[in-house]
Amino acid sequence: MRSPRTLILDRKAVLSLLDMKSTVQAVEKIFAQYGLGRAVMPPKIYLDLPQFKGDFRAMPAFAQSAGKASLKWVNTHADNAKRGFPAVMAVVILNDPQTGFPLSIMDGTLLTSFRTGAAGAVAAKYLARPESKVVALVGCGAQARTQLTALREVFKVQCVKVWGKEQPVVDKFLKEMKRPGETLAAFATIKECVADADIIVTTTPSRKPVVQAAWVQDGTHINAIGADAAGKEELDPKILKNAKVVVDDFRQASHSGEINVPVTKGILTKKDIYAELGQIVCGRKKGRTSDQEITVFDSTGLAIQDLAIADLVYRSALRKNVGMEINLVGL
């Protein structure tokens, strides 16, 4: 019998194996499993390094449906563009839970972007109005791309409104994300961008609200993506106070998600949070219940999402004979 070997999958390999439709489906299924209590996921562990203007996060998970365990090691360094590196880089290890054997080590950077975009689409499927056609993107970096790509899998998007801080980034986004049958346009202010939007997606690193309550019309759904560490916030707390707020995981969201600042200040409590997304996906709670309510999804990014997509990539790699096998642990 051949000794077990570990499959190495670099960014190029992962890119060849990922597609957004399958990613959205996998993320929806894993949220349902989490809502049913069939997945184990401790909170993120943070290693803060302010002297380097960055941090590292360790994210472990196990799910019965996947039959695997995983660990993602991911950084966030806001100034990395000046050094020629991405702001976020990640590595995922996929393990056999019965033996602990490392089945695969893969690039997690692209995987992180895809699964976060997919989570936004899953949330919008249950919380936005089904006929939603106008999407407003506050921020137009890498995450805005996968958020839009994923939303296109769920909705018949007709109009995309964009705001970005840097004009060259905005111009590149408009050029590369244009799709036949859609209107794609940039706006000078966030207020103009979000006006009359059915779905608003925020993907900025802001530490103060950039979307004000007065700008958000009844019936709007908001995917709040950018707040991923303590002190970050993108939404006027009045929006959260008056909306149906859904988080991916309360433990994470309360210290590193969109709700973290209002919770710290006592503006919001756990009673103000309607549900975790998994509870809605598995049917334990209802999603949108009227066309008038404003809904908000606070996305912090869960280790179970990484596990689901890493397993998806791994299985596809085995079928297609992609990647390089090595005798990593010397068995």
Annotated active-site positions, please? 72
The tokens for 264 are: 């710290």
Distance between CA atoms of residues 48 and 261, nearest Å = 18
Of 171, 211, 205, 172, the C-alpha closest to 189 is 211
3-class secondary structure for 151-211? HHHHCCCCEEEEECCCHHHHHHHHHHHCCCCCEEEECCCHHHHHCCCCEEEECCCCEEEEE
Distance between CA atoms of residues 25 and 32, nearest Å = 11
CB 16 within 8 A of CB 330: no
Distance between CA atoms of residues 9 and 129, nearest Å = 38
What's CA 182's distance to the chain center, in Å?
Answer: 24
Q: Please give the backbone phi and psi of residue 220, each rounded to the nearest 5 degrees, phi first.
A: -80, 145
The per-residue DSSP string of 257-276 comes to STTHHHHHTTS--GGGEEEE
CB 201 within 8 A of CB 138: yes
276 bridge partner residues: 247
Q: Which residues contact 195 (CB under 8 A, 6 or more apart)?
A: 136, 215, 217
Distance between CA atoms of residues 280 and 327, nearest Å = 42
The per-residue DSSP string of 40-53 comes to E-PPPEEEEEGGGT
Q: Which residues contact 53 (CB under 8 A, 6 or more apart)?
A: 77, 78, 79
